[in-house]
Amino acid sequence: MTVKASNNDRLARRLWNLAHRAGHGDLDERETNALHAYLDHYQATVREWRAGTNPKPS
């Protein structure tokens, strides 16, 4: 039985591959822009998660 990868698994794999290739200087402009967009989205997600888990004192 085969199991399809979830969207998160595919996104993580794509991000890992882009980051690895970026370390070697092998990205074209489109891939560099995609990597930056993925990282911006990740950073915003983490920031939102932290805001929800660390409520500000009133």
Provide the pLDDT for residue 53.
75
In a domain, 56, yes or no: no
Provide the pLDDT for residue 24.
92
DSSP 17-40: HHHHHHHTT---HHHHHHHHHHHH
pLDDT by residue (tens digit) across 14-55?
888 888 999 999 999 999 998 899 889 888 888 888 888 766
Provide the pLDDT for residue 33.
92
Instruction: Categorize the per-residue pLDDT at 1 as very low, low, confident or very high, splitting at 50, 70 and 90.
Output: very low
Residue numbers of the domain that contains 36: 25-49
In a domain, 32, yes or no: yes
In a domain, 41, yes or no: yes
In a domain, 8, yes or no: no
3-state secondary structure of 55: coil
In a domain, 40, yes or no: yes
In a domain, 37, yes or no: yes
Mean local confidence (pLDDT), 8-16: 81
Which 8-state DSSP code applies to residue 24?
Answer: T
The number of folded domains in the chain is 1
In a domain, 34, yes or no: yes
In a domain, 11, yes or no: no
